[in-house]
Amino acid sequence: MLIDFDHNKPLYIFGDAPPAIELKNWVHNESKVEINVLSHEQFENVPPGNQCMIGFQNTDYRKRFLEKINIDDYSWPTFIHPAAHVEDLTTIGKGCVILNFVHIGFNANVGDFCYVATGSQLSHDSKIGKNCMLAPGVIIGGSTVFDNNIWIGLNSSFADKLTICSDTTFNMTSVVHKSVTEPGKYYGNRKIN
């Protein structure tokens, strides 16, 4: 499902790795608009007023990319894979990519420019902020709140009612059972840098 998408205007997807090509293929299944896949450095060649999506996953690159452009000069559709399940009263921001077999629970909130990969679960009343990347198989417990610019590695799990600060990275298979208040790189609740 494409949200806030104009089927009469071309789409520009930024990123030159496989996730951008996959996103192009999924969007092409739903719309026959012209789709241009460009590197993020080529953004300056896209005139304001066009619709764009981010097809690369690195949250640091995404953060720098979003900081150097005027977001409001462009439209940012959201893609939700037909095999994803989104419960009632859920809010999903602009420019998001929600992939197959994702479950987003009742009254959850996904901020702008998030990427939620295959098989991830965001439980009821949970919130992820702007520019968060959930790798495949991430499970987030109910009423857990993530700030902005967070990358969560493959098959990681978060307990209920946690708060996770901005600019944080979790290695794959992390099991997080306490809130995290200091930015950095973690394996579970152990800071590794």
Structure tokens at 107: 């009254």
What's 180's DSSP letter? Answer: B
Residues linked to residue 191 through DSSP beta bridges, in sequence order: 186
159 and 141 share one domain: yes
Tens of pLDDT, residue by residue over 11-24, are 999 887 888 999 99
Which helix (H) or strand (E) segment holds residue 61: the answer is helix 59-68
- For 126-182, write each residue's pLDDT tens digit: 999 999 999 999 999 999 999 999 999 999 999 999 999 999 999 999 999 999 999
Residue 126 lies in a domain: yes
Residue ending a domain, choose from 58, 77, 96: 77
Instruction: Give the model confidence (pLDDT) of 34-92 as tens digits.
Output: 999 998 778 888 999 999 999 888 888 888 888 888 889 999 999 999 999 999 999 99
Report CA-CA distances (Å) from 42 to 23, 106, 126, 185. Answer: 18, 38, 35, 30
In a domain, 72, yes or no: yes
Contact 51, 6 (CB under 8 A): yes
- Residue at which a domain ends, from 49, 77, 105: 77
Q: Is residue 147 part of a domain?
A: yes
Q: Label residue 27 by pLDDT band (50, 70, 90).
A: very high
Q: Domain check: are 31 and 90 in the same one?
A: no
Neighbours of 141 (CB within 10 A): 20
Range of the domain at 87: 79-183
Please check whether residues 6 and 67 belong to one and the same domain: yes
Among the listed residues 153, 192, 191, 160, the one whose alpha carbon sits nearest the alpha carbon of residue 177: 160
Query: How does DSSP classify residue 27?
Result: H
Domain endpoint, select from 24, 55, 77: 77
Phi, psi of 161 (to 5 degrees): 60, 40
Which of 175, 183, 127, 168 minimizes the C-alpha distance to 154? 175
Q: Verify that 142 and 112 share a domain, yes or no.
A: yes
Return d(Cα 29, Cα 5) in angstroms, integer. Answer: 14
Q: For the whole model, what pTM was predicted? A: 0.92
* Greatest C-alpha distance within the chain: 49
> Do the Cβ atoms of 54 and 114 come closer than 8 Å?
no
